[in-house]
Amino acid sequence: MITANQSFTFHGYDEEDPLRPRSMDRPPSLPPDSPQPPDASLPFYDPSHALHLLQGISELRSEQKFFDMTVSAGEQDFPCHRTVLAAASLYFRAMFAGRLRESQAQRVELQQVSGPTLGLLVDFCYSGRVIVTQANVEQLLQAADLFQFPSVKEACCQYLEGQLDVTNCLEIQEFAEAYACRGLAESTKRFILAHMVALAEARELERLPWSRILEYVRDDRLCVDKEETAYQLVLSWVRADLPRRQHRLPELFQHIRLPFIRRYYLLAQVESDPLVYCSPACLRLIGEARAFQSCEYDRHDRPCERMRPRPSTGLAEILVVIGGCDQECDEMVTVDCYNPQSGQWRYLAEFPDHLGGGYSMAALGNDIYVTGGSDGARLYDCVWRYNSSVNEWTEVSPMLKAREYHGSTVLKGLLYVVNSDSTERYDHSIDSWESLPSMLYSMDNCSTTSCREKLYAIGSLEGKDKMIMQCYDPDTDIWSLVNCGQFPPWSFAPKTVTINGLIYFVRDDSAEVDVYSPLKNEWDKIPPMSQVHVGGSLAALDGKLYVSGGYDNAFELSGVVEAYDPEKRAWSTIGRLPQSTFWHASVSIFRQFMPHTQYSFDGPTLDNVHHERHTINLNRRRQHLHNHNLNEMHR
């Protein structure tokens, strides 16, 4: 006898003889005089019970025992058990458990399904198995959706996903969306975006409705080797039915990343095209692209999707970290870059000279400029330029005045250097500096940024604790004092960066972050950082705020990099610096960081364009889609 205090493990039935239990662990025997608990229990579970039950029900069906109803479709009858259908499908459960006449009927005829397809579903109820083929997948998925067999529907989706190619993907996406197959619809869309060039070469792209071509062109995942290919795809779609589609070109043009089209191609091929040249809206977008390429457009201040390259082109916006000091306070001259798309760090060309302290750094287009600094004994007037296209540092014309602990920023394609007693401006096109009016009031340790085509300098009045903000207007060549009300309680000038018309202020001694809107003349706060970053660095990248390194709350040197997303109003830790660092500088630029894709509009076709295999053709939907597309084109 087994008592309640003993364990009993049941191992199911023997595989060779299902009616004979397997061996079980025998509990140790208790002394004969041990007290017996009054309420003995045996928790028991047979993991093979469900399988045996299903096998038994299937055998009853084979033996034609206990049938209590018949379902029919297409003049085919299927005797079955009402309980089995109700247990397998919520549709049949609602039919049989409610007050409908079918709940008592001995025979139920179903109109929206063929006999063979209904037979597959009935077989599935009794066996849990179904074979999906090219011949039955369309009708089976429709029936599984109607009669609520989600696992069968998912099996059909997996089959269709495995059969995707350029000859059927457009119909399969429409089919998947029509029957709410979200996973299949998304995977099909990814396939289409990855094979748009092949679709164009097979002339499948031409029959897309307006809404679809817009959906694909605006998607970041559109796989093209260069943005010129995206432009060619759009133009080929428009020209396939020019009278009805020409008026759609300006809206499609808004989603082409024109700033990343090569300059000569933009002029020789895009702007000179009659369809583009005759469209004022398209010409305005070309002007925007030219401003970006000449460094006059501030992508941080006015972010939009056109200023973000497609990942497939291999061009990525990266975070570049230069210099700083390590745990031993030794100066570092390493230059590292971080790609948010891959999460990887890479080394760039090391800084060729002694960085010292008090230098400033700014990005002008895809180049980086490091200005001034000191070695403790003398000030530097030298300026170094990092050319990202060749991964090389070169020295350019020195500043008019040697300086340290100054601010530098880029405004309308020119580099500005500001400190307490002087301001000067650098024109990279002629490699020349010019002197500008000094600020109205001298400031200690000022921070600078550009916002809405003006330059802002923030710091404390020289020799005083009072914080002020001054603004320089390049159009009038005049400095002015900004009456921005009560400042946050800063002990010294915070680091600043501009994103989408707002100036963000990150303090060294606090995790709090303040925001100022020059347009509204209002102060605000955002959620605090996860930690302080004493001696850390601040940069804008892809519309987000990146703060890196410095000393944390425990005054331990940190390598944490965290980013703030203004749309989500949330911080996230995105990684760590290659080495914990403080007093470093960081900026963002674009650089070829990933390999090119192998496809272009005029390049080689994909293998599966000519792949000889059985393809899925959703014939009944094809004519419907053709009519739908015609209606779309006439709108």
Same domain for 25 and 123? no
Residue 268 lies in a domain: no
The single residue listed with the structure tokens 């589609």 is 245
Residue 434 lies in a domain: yes
* Structure-token pair, residue 101: 């006449």
**486-514 as b/e: b if 16+ CB within 10 A:** ebbebeebbbbbbbeebbbbbbbebbbbb
Residue 161 lies in a domain: no
pLDDT bin (cut points 50, 70, 90) of residue 616 is low
Residue of 441, 356, 431, 475 lying closest to 423 (CA atoms): 441
Burial (0-12, 13-18, 19+ Cβ within 10 Å), 123: middle
pLDDT at 39: 75
The 3-state secondary structure of 397-448 reads CCCCCCCCCCEEEEECCEEEEEECCEEEEEECCCCEEEEECCCCCCEEEEEE
pLDDT bin (cut points 50, 70, 90) of residue 275 is very high
Same domain for 38 and 3? yes
Question: What mean pLDDT is reported for the chain?
Answer: 89
Q: In the structure, how many helices (H) and strands (E) does the chain have?
A: 17, 27
pLDDT at 28: 52
pLDDT bin (cut points 50, 70, 90) of residue 354 is confident
Residue 37 lies in a domain: yes
* Structure-token pair, residue 108: 């139920």
Same domain for 414 and 500? yes
The 10 Å Cβ neighbour count of residue 562 is: 19
pLDDT at 118: 97
Average pLDDT over residues 266-270: 95
Same domain for 76 and 36? no
Same domain for 347 and 432? yes
pLDDT at 594: 60
pLDDT bin (cut points 50, 70, 90) of residue 427 is very high
Residue of 397, 140, 410 lying closest to 297 (CA atoms): 410
Residue 259 lies in a domain: no
Q: Which residues contact 599 (CB under 8 A, 6 or more apart)?
A: 197, 198, 223, 224, 225, 229, 606
Residue-wise pLDDT tens digits, 103-155? 888 999 999 999 999 999 999 999 999 999 999 999 999 999 999 999 999 99
pLDDT bin (cut points 50, 70, 90) of residue 482 is very high
* Structure-token pair, residue 605: 């076709």
Average pLDDT over residues 628-633: 42
pLDDT at 40: 86
Residue 500 lies in a domain: yes
* Structure-token pair, residue 296: 């006059």
Average pLDDT over residues 234-247: 96
pLDDT at 420: 86
For residue 338, how far is the Cα from the chain centroid?
16
Residue 299 lies in a domain: no
Residue-wise pLDDT tens digits, 553-608? 999 999 999 999 999 999 999 999 999 999 999 999 999 876 544 445 554 333 33
Same domain for 21 and 43? yes
More confident residue, 97 or 33: 97
Residue of 505, 366, 403, 368 lying closest to 448 (CA atoms): 505
Same domain for 91 and 6? no
Q: Flag whether pLDDT at 7 surpasses 60.
A: no
pLDDT at 102: 79
Same domain for 463 and 349? yes
Q: Among the three residues 129, 164, 189, which one is the final residue of a domain in this structure?
A: 129
Q: Flag whether pLDDT at 313 surpasses 90.
A: yes
* Structure-token pair, residue 55: 């096998």
pLDDT at 357: 86
pLDDT bin (cut points 50, 70, 90) of residue 406 is very high
Q: Among the three residues 47, 62, 84, which one is the final residue of a domain in this structure?
A: 47
CATH number, domain of 365, equals 2.120.10.80
Q: Among the three residues 80, 104, 129, which one is the final residue of a domain in this structure?
A: 129
Question: 206 with 627: CB under 8 angstroms?
Answer: no
Residue-wise pLDDT tens digits, 520-557? 999 999 999 999 999 999 999 999 999 999 999 999 99
pLDDT at 109: 94
Residue of 635, 610, 631, 628 lying closest to 170 (CA atoms): 628
**Structural domain harbouring 458:** 315-592
Question: 535 with 508: CB under 8 angstroms?
Answer: yes
Lowest mean pLDDT among 106-120, 150-164, 434-448, 610-624: 610-624
| Total domains present in the chain | 3
Distance in angstroms between the alpha carbons of the first and the last residue of the chain: 83
pLDDT at 32: 56
- The CA-based angle 371-374-377, given to 5 degrees, is 155
Same domain for 86 and 22? no
Lowest mean pLDDT among 12-16, 102-106, 176-180, 304-308: 12-16
pTM for this predicted structure: 0.82
Q: Flag whether pLDDT at 508 surpasses 80.
A: yes
Same domain for 459 and 445? yes
Same domain for 43 and 58? no
Same domain for 354 and 450? yes
- Residue 227 gets the label, from left (phi > 0), alpha (psi -120 to 50) or beta, of alpha
pLDDT at 35: 60
* Structure-token pair, residue 537: 């660095």
Residue-wise pLDDT tens digits, 183-235? 999 999 999 999 999 999 999 999 999 999 999 999 999 999 999 999 999 99
Residue 611 lies in a domain: no
Burial (0-12, 13-18, 19+ Cβ within 10 Å), 228: buried
Average pLDDT over residues 38-42: 81
pLDDT at 31: 58
H helices of 299-380, where?
none
CATH number, domain of 87, equals 3.30.710.10
pLDDT bin (cut points 50, 70, 90) of residue 356 is confident
